[in-house]
Amino acid sequence: MKIKMSLLDNAYDYLHNSLYHYHLATHEDYPDDYKRFWKFSIVSIVQSAELMFKEVLKRENEFLIYENIDKPKNTVSVSTAIHRLKNIVKVDIDDRDEIVIRRAIELRNLITHFELDLDIIELSTIYTVIFEFLHSFHFRFLGEELHEYIHQEYWEEEGCLIEQFRSEFILYNGINVRKNYPIQIAESQLFPFFKIEGIEHKRVKYGKEPRFTGFNQICPGCAVKQGYYHVFYCDDEICPKCGGQAITCSCEVYKAFYEDDE
């Protein structure tokens, strides 16, 4: 007996596995110990995304999913898949999307190879944004709504995630922002650290600054609530290393986000 699955069938299986563990990790009737299932939900959703990337490559040319097209054996890494999607297939993956993907890869590697040290709010934020990204990617580049391929037993989880994304990341106390700005707010929550000269420094959330007065509940520079990370390049974010303004200090806090990694 053999098990044979297409790339997309495999991707959907990983997605369903992810939603199953998301349910276990978040349902209020389950014990707190079930929070450990967050790690399985995140690893599986990242694996689902990787397979979807490869499906797009395969639709262009079946050999593009292989590391060496002359010896089609090992498939490409996620970083190589993204490079080929952008430069060969000419898929429109903007810098914002790429930042999300890189953070997702980093998180998967952290979970599978190292000790895990993320709080539940950060895990929930990361998962919600990745799920939203997959919904968008599937429609834009695979031509169909992802919902059509999610089993009915997980529609409740799907609906909760979409509602969570809209309620937490789109409505900011009535503040009017441009159409894509709420997504940038959400994506900024994926990155709790700035890497400066190879060392990770914990970012300072709005309201946690040493000289914060508590007068404004919402950051006047980027519209995040207290307790959330600033949007990248916000004038009001301070550098966690030197304490100066993050966008102007000499620590180059944003440099590491755009360096190549495998």
For residue 211, being part of any structural domain is answered with yes
- Same-domain pairing of 14 and 125: yes
- Same-domain pairing of 161 and 73: yes
**pLDDT on residue 182:** 66
Please give the torsion angle defined by the CA atoms of residues 122, 107, 34 and 183, in that order, rounded to the nearest 10 degrees: 40
Instruction: Give rounded-to-5 percent helix, strand, coil for the chain.
Output: 55, 5, 40
- Comparing 85-94, 152-161, 209-218, which segment has the lowest mean pLDDT? 209-218
Report the number of distinct structural domains present in the chain: 2
Residue 199 has pLDDT above 50, yes or no: yes
Pick the last residue of a domain from 169, 201, 221.
169
Residue 79: pLDDT band with limits 50, 70, 90: confident
For 28-63, the DSSP string reads TTS-GGGGGGHHHHHHHHHHHHHHHHHHHHHHH-GG
- Same-domain pairing of 32 and 144: yes
- Same-domain pairing of 126 and 234: no
- Same-domain pairing of 27 and 147: yes
Residue 260: pLDDT band with limits 50, 70, 90: very low
**pLDDT on residue 172:** 43
**pLDDT on residue 54:** 94
For residue 180, being part of any structural domain is answered with no
For residue 148, being part of any structural domain is answered with yes
- Same-domain pairing of 154 and 52: yes
- Look up the domain containing 149 and give its range: 7-169
- Same-domain pairing of 39 and 89: yes
For residue 184, being part of any structural domain is answered with no
Render pLDDT for 30-67 as a digit per residue (tens, 0 to 9).
Answer: 888 888 899 999 999 999 999 999 999 999 999 999 98
